[in-house]
Amino acid sequence: MDLPPPRELLDTGFGDDSGAASPDLVEALAAYARDPKAYVDALDELRQSRLLVPVVAVLGEVEVGADGLARDKSSDMAAVLLRGADGRLALLAFTSTETLARWNPEARPVPVTADLAAQAALQDDAAALVVDVAGPTTLVVEGDDLRGLASRWVLTRAGDRPAWIGPAPE
């Protein structure tokens, strides 16, 4: 049997990551839970944070023998999209392995920057990035905020609302 050439895995830059949530992000999310007007601060802290995107095994092809029994199975790993009651999709992300395990202890964490998680959500046609869906505080990033986060634009505020500063037109 010929094996394919070995594939090189890219370094995510999180080799020393313990899986713990950033204390500053935990504090910002707790402030947001107490007062929704703290959304911009939570979003700003999220923008600077590492998130864990869960991947789960998905059954691929199944080869069935003449006796009707499965002989060979394959599986793939896939990021998790959640469909809301309104039919829109959201990519799930978590602040820590603890909050990920609250949702699904069998999911495997993939550490990414928040902008990469937002880019993945948009690439999967998701309308939102949902952070810590199982709590303790759930943060939903959607619309202009999702696009601004994915684009790595500068976040500022306009009153109690976020405002994104993109590059100047050429």
Each residue of 104-150: pLDDT tens digit? 998 999 999 999 999 999 999 999 999 999 999 999 999 999 999 99
More confident residue, 78 or 166: 166
End-to-end CA distance of the chain: 54
Per-residue pLDDT for 39 more than 80?
yes
Packed helices 23-34 and 39-47: angle between N→C axes, nearest 10 degrees? 160
Please give the model's pTM, rounded to 2 decimal places: 0.81
Question: What pLDDT score was predicted for residue 78?
Answer: 73
Question: What pLDDT score was predicted for residue 161?
Answer: 92
How distant, in Å, are the alpha carbons of 56, 63, 71, 93, 104 from that of 108? 6, 26, 26, 11, 9
Which ranges of 19-150 would DSSP assign to H, the alpha helix?
A: 23-34, 39-47, 97-103, 114-123, 143-150
Which of 79-83, 112-116, 152-156 is predicted with the least confidence, judged by mean pLDDT? 79-83
Cβ-Cβ contacts under 8 Å for 102 (sequence gap 6 or more):
134, 135
With cut-offs at 50, 70 and 90, classify the pLDDT of residue 12: low
Which of 11-15, 31-35, 42-46, 125-129 is predicted with the least confidence, judged by mean pLDDT? 11-15
Mean pLDDT of the chain, nearest integer: 88
Residue environment code for 95-125, b if the CB has 16+ CB neighbours within 10 A, otherwise e: bbbebbbebeeebebbbbbbbbbbbbbbeee
CA distance 163 to 145: 8
User: Which residue type, as a one-letter code, is found at position 100?
Assistant: L
Q: What token pair was written down for 157?
A: 């505020």
Are the CB atoms for 28 and 41 separated by under 8 Å? yes
